[in-house]
Amino acid sequence: MLSALAEGESEIVNFLPGHDCVATAKALEALGVPISWLAPDRLLVRGGTALRPPRGVLDCGNSGTSMRLLAGLLAGQGVAAELHGDASLSRRPMRRIIDPLALMGARIEALGEEGRPPLRIEDSSGIKGISYRVPVASAQVKSSILLAGLGARGETCVSEPVPTRDHTERMLPSFGVSIERSNGRACLTGRQPLRATRIDVPGDFSSATFLLLAGLIGPREIRVDSVGVNSARTGFLRLMYVMGGTLQIAAQRTSGSEPVADVMASPSMLQGALLPASFVPSAIDEMPAVFAAAACAMGETVIQGAEELRVKESDRIAAMVSGLKTLGVVCEETPDGARIRGGGVRGGEIDCKGDHRVAMAFAVLALAAQAPIVVRDVDCVDTSFPGFAEIALQLGLNLEPIE
């Protein structure tokens, strides 16, 4: 999205060709941005020309990130469009971005019930910067407002209650944008020129998490090389340390504006624990793996402060607890998490609710199960991790497709 606004050609290396990322790229092409697909994981984006209204709706697929960030981008540029998604995305709350964008002067409305997609954005003559405190810990909301702020008059400031992923703030200076950050607050002045650059994308920590889970609960050590270890994303590591997991970080370095390292996970005797709620925002996308780890731990694990999981691609609290019960794990939902008594996982058939991270969590949990686990509706995994099945086979998972 930043490359689309930047003058010149930006090269994106190590692009993840999952459905979510591809949906974003296709939406930008529909807005008139020339994109050359040099390879499945390498793009050349020619930016600097005004975005144009698309001829049809913009299909965000399953990606809440795409919809929320595109809404901010379009509002800031004053471009009219309708943003649609699949059935899962159409159930996700959008009032959290509609309200601040409307305060900036954007004309935006939800066409679904109770502030849910599709979203309609009308063209506008320009929006103004605001100072806004995000009521929920959400990097998507923060980034949506900052992207809108790029096209706004004056200064836009966003404050957040607890630190969340900060990839947008880190990347903006690479495109020549001046941004001030301090004490959970980010401010930028609108209508700064953006210049093209090269972006080397680190390995996705959310995808790496499921491989690291395999190392913790499986029979052998697993190393994931060149993965992003931004502290706003690595709450999973901190939660596993609390549970006694053996994890090592080596060869730390920087790629562009992001910290990168090699991460090793070794078979561990995990222990149940009261997990600090303060770690959850930096592990929110990885929490299904935490539920799976808890099922393998000795004693009770208490997960709290994770109510945001209720409004992901599925209700991930309900999906994980239901699946774990099917596998014989003693557990119960709480409003903001779960209580899970680990120590034994039987086999069974799981409905992953069409959620890619739930599907991968149960697939990896099969390493510790006493009998096969059948996971239905797994096409969704390509949303974020194309090639997961092939890698899982290399890790020792005995995967067999079924009809």
Residue 123 appears among annotated catalytic residues:
no
Q: Which residue, 201, 227, 199, is CA-closest to 212?
A: 227
Whether 2-200 shares its CATH topology with 205-394 is answered yes
Phi first, then psi, for residue 247 (nearest 5°) are -135, 140
Res 338: pLDDT: 98
Q: At what angle do helices 316-326 and 287-296 cross, to 10 degrees?
A: 30
Per-residue pLDDT at 317? 98
Distance (Å, whole) CA 337 – CA 318: 9
Residues of the chain with pLDDT under 50: none
pLDDT value at residue 63 = 94
User: What fold characterizes domain 205-394?
Assistant: UDP-n-acetylglucosamine1-carboxyvinyl-transferase; Chain (3.65.10)
The pLDDT of residue 255 is 85
3-state secondary structure 316-380: HHHHHHHHHHHCCCEEEEECCEEEEECCCCCCEEEECCCCHHHHHHHHHHHHHCCCCEEEECHHH
pLDDT of 150 reads 98
2-200 homologous superfamily: Enolpyruvate transferase domain (3.65.10.10)
Domain boundaries, the chain: 2-200, 205-394
* Residue-wise pLDDT tens digits, 272-305: 999 999 999 999 999 999 999 999 999 999 999 9
Helix (H) or strand (E) holding 158: strand 155-159
Catalytic: which of 59, 285, 351, 355? 285
